[in-house]
Chains A and B, each alone.
Chain A
Amino acid sequence: MNTEKNIKTLIVKKPLKLDCGKTIKDFPIAYETYGSLNSKKDNAILVFHALTGDQFVTGINPVTNKEGWWSYAVGPDKAIDTNKYFVICSNVIGGCMGSYGPSHKDPDQKIFGTNFPVITINDMVNAQYNLLDHFGIDKLFSITGGSMGGMQVLQFICNFPDKSKTVIPIATTSSHSAQNIAFNELGRQAITADSNWRDGNYTSNDTNPGKGLAVARMAAHITYLSKKGLQEKFGRKLQEREDLKFGFDADFQIESYLRYQGSVFVDRFDANSYLYITRAMDYFDLAKQFNGNLSEAFINTNAKFFIISFTSDWLYPTQENKDIVIALNSIGADVGFVEIESDKGHDSFLLDVPDFLSALKNFLDKSYEEN
């Protein structure tokens, strides 16, 4: 593929035992970096991406030719200032932007499809940990990410308690709720119900379950926005027509918008990866790893936490973020928390929300000054 020359890859030689019991080795992790690592190697920030993100955090994504998913937050003089910090982000395993995933070939040169092992958030961060060795970084300055990225942040500091000075989970949860699982299942059912899915072997059959994947994206996209945000942006406005057409074309702008979101998503994302990554999110329950006591997950770390939620986020609502704050406070950890006022729903962390961006910047820069 011509895209592969733009993708930096680390081949992890060391075997990694996955939660499902299988072991993988000699597998690729695709990553990107921004800014430069200083001589003391104390300015590195590991960013974790969300469900449909990738390693191309900011600037133009060379594969999609679109702006990186966190362009508002990461870049020169931005909240995560790449003049100052060295930002590393890698594609999660199970993903489809170069890291080991279901579109890769198994040792017998057959495309994995659903024979790829089921992975977890824990597996993702254990795989990404290899990047620290690769760059010779003993301790990160910060780890951050929103949504599923936030889950990886929590799991990372739990697994490697002394490997980051600061920890910034954003718009996330320590345990996927029934509602979260329900929405993910809806997406998976949409994909597997597409006759072109072919039990996951669509590539070898030269088909693509694009319709199913688009529906999955449309349903998920609604959960990323707020009712108020949708109403203000679209209301009942009609799409390039004066009146209702009494048919099933996209009469309303919101319909047209969702169809567009679905169609562009299909061009850049792999249906099987969508199944694998949503599964990893559903399996995430950090408290369960410690017999129901979330505080135990953080008992060994001295890191400074800063947790951020958004008022209109109903997918990972403030209370679920606050539960993490409560767990940290109950063990006397250094934790700050702010709920940002925004109508932009769960997607707020990806958008131009000035209060959010300034809180993130101030926390990072002030913490770095104290270094």
Chain B
Amino acid sequence: MKNEFQVIADLIEKDKKVLDVGCADGTLMKFLKDNKNINIRGLEISKEKVQECIAKGLTVIEGNAEKDLKQFPDKSFDYVVLSQTLQAFLNPELVLDELLRVGKKAIVTIPNFGYWKVRFHLLFKGTMPITKTLPDEWYNTPNLHMCTIKDFFHFVKSKDIKIFKSLALNNLDKSTINQSNLGVKNLFADLGIFLIEK
């Protein structure tokens, strides 16, 4: 399991009710179910991935986060997880609002467009950056709204969203982001992980 999922799992206490939005093949769900006795649900748009989740014995709903989150009642999950998908929605702001309505807390991770390798790629090669967390070409990427850790940090603050924890991840390296080190973390982390609440 990738380090990102380990960090997310560490943020969630045992025996909670969790919704994994865009749960893919259910790797994180399975880990949470088996190791933390989490009452876990997934929402996934890909039919193939949904089948993989079913084969793992996971409860998954085939659906689209932009349309299908509205069926869940307010605060019906302790945590809602959204891993590296926010930038792929037509309207990320709306999805973020929905995550925070459905979940008592939300864990959102974003691939950082401010990461130094991304900046170098654009600066020196002059072409759209391709990195480990951003593997697609400009013409086939699902990402519509790329942002940096700094962008996201400012965005949630402007929406009066409370940040409980913000972590910068660079391979196996995990560190805390705060107002004073934001510029540095924005340069050296390829992933941001935010535990937020509204």
Residues of A within 8 A of B47 (CB): 338-341, 355
Q: Which of A326, A334, A363 touches B54 (beta carbons < 8 Å)? A: A363
Q: Is A366 within 8 A of B63, CB to CB?
A: no
Q: Is B62 within 8 A of A337, CB to CB?
A: yes
A339–B46 Cα gap in the complex (Å)? 10
Residues of B within 8 A of A340 (CB): 47
Residues 27 to 56 of chain B near chain A (Cβ within 8 Å): 41, 47, 50-51, 54-56
A340–B59 Cα gap in the complex (Å)? 16
Q: Which of A306, A325, A336 touches B71 (beta carbons < 8 Å)? A: A325
Residues of A within 8 A of B57 (CB): 362, 366-367, 369-370
Residues of B within 8 A of A355 (CB): 47, 51
Total chain A interface residues with beta-carbon distance under 8 A? 25
Residues of A within 8 A of B54 (CB): 306, 336, 338, 359, 362-363, 366
Chain A residue, CB-CB nearest to B47: A341
Assuming the A-B contacts A362-B57, A370-B57, are A338 and B73 also in contact, with contact meaning beta carbons closer than 8 angstroms in the complex? Answer: no
Size range of the chain B interface in the assembly: 10 to 19
Query: Is the CB of A358 closer than 8 A to any CB of chain B?
Result: yes
A304–B61 Cα gap in the complex (Å)? 13
Q: Is A329 within 8 A of B51, CB to CB?
A: no
Chain A residue, CB-CB nearest to B77: A332
Assuming the A-B contacts A325-B61, A367-B57, A370-B57, are A332 and B51 also in contact, with contact meaning beta carbons closer than 8 angstroms in the complex? Answer: no
Q: Could you write out 20 A-B pairs with CB less than 8 Å apart?
A: A304-B59, A325-B71, A329-B72, A329-B73, A330-B72, A331-B73, A335-B59, A335-B61, A336-B58, A337-B62, A337-B63, A338-B54, A339-B47, A340-B47, A355-B47, A358-B51, A362-B55, A363-B54, A369-B57, A370-B57
The 5 A-B residue pairs whose C-beta atoms are closest, nearest first, are A366-B57, A326-B71, A362-B55, A337-B61, A336-B59
